[in-house]
Amino acid sequence: MKYRSRRNRILRRIILIAAALLLLTLLIVLYCSVTDILLSATQETMRARTATAVNEAVFETLADSVRYDDLVTVERDAQGEIRAIFANAYEINRIARDTAYLAQKKLQAMGEEGIALPLGAFSGIDALAGFGPSVRIRLIPVAVVTCRFASEFTQAGINQTRHAVFLEVTAEISVVLPGRTQNFSTSSEVLIAESVLVGDVPQVYLQGDIFGAVSRAGGG
Of residues 151 and 63, more confidence is placed in: 151
pLDDT of residue 219: 41
Q: Which of 80-94, 96-110, 134-148, 182-196 has the lowest mean pLDDT?
A: 134-148
pLDDT 10s digits, 23-45: 777 656 555 656 676 777 777 77
CB neighbours of residue 168 within 10 Å:
16
pTM strictly above 0.75: no
Amino acid at 48: A
pLDDT 10s digits, 118-145: 666 666 566 666 666 676 666 666 678 8
Q: Is 60 left (phi over 0), alpha (psi -120 to 50) or beta?
A: alpha
Domain boundaries, the chain: 2-206
Strands 134-137 and 115-118: antiparallel
CB 212 within 8 A of CB 89: no
The mean pLDDT of 39-66, rounded to a whole number, is 79
Residues 218 and 200: their CA atoms lie apart, in Å, by: 16
Give long-range contacts, CB 8 A cutoff, 24+ apart: 95-99: 95/61, 95/62, 95/66, 95/147, 95/149, 95/167, 95/192, 96/147, 96/148, 96/149, 96/167, 97/147, 98/57, 98/61, 99/54, 99/57, 99/58, 99/61, 99/145, 99/147, 99/167, 99/169
Query: At residue 37, what are phi and psi to the nearest 5 degrees?
Result: -65, -45
